A and B are shown apart, each in its own frame.
Chain A
Amino acid sequence: GAVVSQHPSWVICKSGTSVKIECRSLDFQATTMFWYRQFPKQSLMLMATSNEGSKATYEQGVEKDKFLINHASLTLSTLTVTSAHPEDSSFYICSAWGYNYGYTFGSGTRLTVV
């Protein structure tokens, strides 16, 4: 089946630094990549949608200058959290969509900002 590899699984960073999260579709072409964040005991909240080669579309309330998304190829998308602060601590999950594959979720990244 379709696999999306998400790295790192967890990361601890100091306040003010940047963190990059990578999602790679291993055996299919991801036409669209979705990035979600999930706070404890809550549902998934869509942050942004990106299509290969295009600028990401951000949901209302999500700062595009803080959460930089790059979808440079059909198999790779990255989310960079810039100048991270403790309130950015969360579980980030990517989801790749491809024709004939539907939605495939990455394994998630636990970000802790100290």
Chain B
Amino acid sequence: ELKVEQNPLFLSMQEGKNYTIYCNYSTTSDRLYWYRQDPGKSLESLFVLLSNGAVKQEGRLMASLDTKARLSTLHITAAVHDLSATYFCAVDINSGYALNFGKGTSLLVTP
């Protein structure tokens, strides 16, 4: 069974600060996905990481993937309130198979 673990599950941070969310998974996979979910909404795709060493950046968010360590990180730079949301990482064991989700990290950015 593929397990995906995120930490922390809850994160309260001040505006302007940096922080990293970690995502570990239990089996070999070269594909990792990051999503954002706002309250009452569905998932918004942030990043798709498809190879070892992949790094992608969008605005204040940067994601990376280390398939050997089975670890992905989502780094937040100079957080702003608009980043407050729940962030999920997900892994599939093969293309077209169901995504396995972490429990999510609930992020609150405060002034």
Contact = CB atoms under 8 A, between A and B. Distances in A.
Are chains A and B native binding partners rather than an unrelated pairing? yes
Interface of A: 6, 31-32, 34, 41-44, 46, 49, 93, 95, 97, 102-103, 105-108, 110
A27 B33 CA distance: 22
Interface residues of B, number: 18
B43 A105 contact: yes
Contact of B101 (A6, A43, A97): A43
B92 to A, nearest CB: 8
Contacts of A105: 35, 42-43, 45
B59 interface: no
B34 interface: no
A28 B42 CA distance: 20
Contacts of B111: none
Given A34-B98, A34-B99, A103-B45, 14 more contacts: A31-B96, A42-B104, A44-B43, A44-B88, A44-B101, A95-B99, A102-B48, A105-B35, A105-B43, A106-B42, A107-B42, A108-B41, A108-B42, A110-B40
Contact of A107 (B41, B45, B102): B41
B103 A43 contact: yes
Contacts of A42: 103-104
Contacts of B99: 34, 46, 95, 103
Given A32-B96, A95-B99, A43 B42 contact: no
A93 B53 CA distance: 31
21 contacts: A6-B42, A31-B96, A32-B96, A43-B88, A43-B103, A43-B104, A44-B88, A44-B101, A46-B99, A46-B100, A49-B98, A93-B42, A103-B33, A103-B45, A103-B99, A105-B35, A105-B42, A105-B45, A107-B41, A107-B42, A108-B42
A93 to B, nearest CB: 5
A6 B43 CA distance: 13
Given A93-B43, A107-B42, A108-B42, A46 B98 contact: yes
